[in-house]
Amino acid sequence: MAEERTGEAFEEGVRLTVVGHKLNVGDPAPDFAMDCLDAGAAFPHTVTLADSAGGARLLNVVNSLDTPVCHVETCRWQALVDEAAPGARIYTVSMDLPFAQLRWRTAEGIRHDALSSHRSERFGKDYGVLLKEWRLLQRAVFVIDADGRIAHAEYVADQMKEPDYDAALRALAAAADAQPA
């Protein structure tokens, strides 16, 4: 049975239970397999962590792209990552259906991939971000280095707050700089 953590996530007066073990800097990043729908495609394809091996990656984990804070955060990451670490990969992860993610990305001009964990709670449990009561993901940011290790992990407790962009960008820039040429 997966670990359950209480008191580590909330929205206004609602206390939430987070399922899964928290990841720390230096931990191996758990592999994942999630759906991604590209513009013009009829069906989603699977994206795994191994697909971007050898490079720096940022996982922007959100509750749902159709909520105001998640919307602002995802748009901001697009602009910041392009500027701070041009070679890094960015993925926004939610339990939204891939069709809804593509609709939102297209409407907002978001170029980075959105990964959908709608089929399984595995990503949420493996990364320690599954919100039990909502069956959504806790707001979090992970930077994964070229060796597949966690270089930065931020679990945002207040679901109405944005993450610490500067701390994640510093970790992403360091991970991108450490990549083999």
Report whether 159 contacts 11 (CB < 8 A). yes
> Is 75 a known active-site residue?
no
Task: Give the span between the Cα atoms of 102 and 123, in whole angstroms.
Answer: 20
Give one word for 112, left, alpha or beta, with left for phi > 0 and alpha for psi -120 to 50: beta
- What DSSP letter does each residue of 164-178 carry, written as one string? -HHHHHHHHHHHHHT
Catalytic residue among 47, 49, 70, 102: 70
User: 152 pairs with which residues across the strands?
Assistant: 143
Task: Give the span between the Cα atoms of 181 and 169, in whole angstroms.
Answer: 20
Tokens 């899964």 belong to 20
Catalytic residue positions, numbered: 70
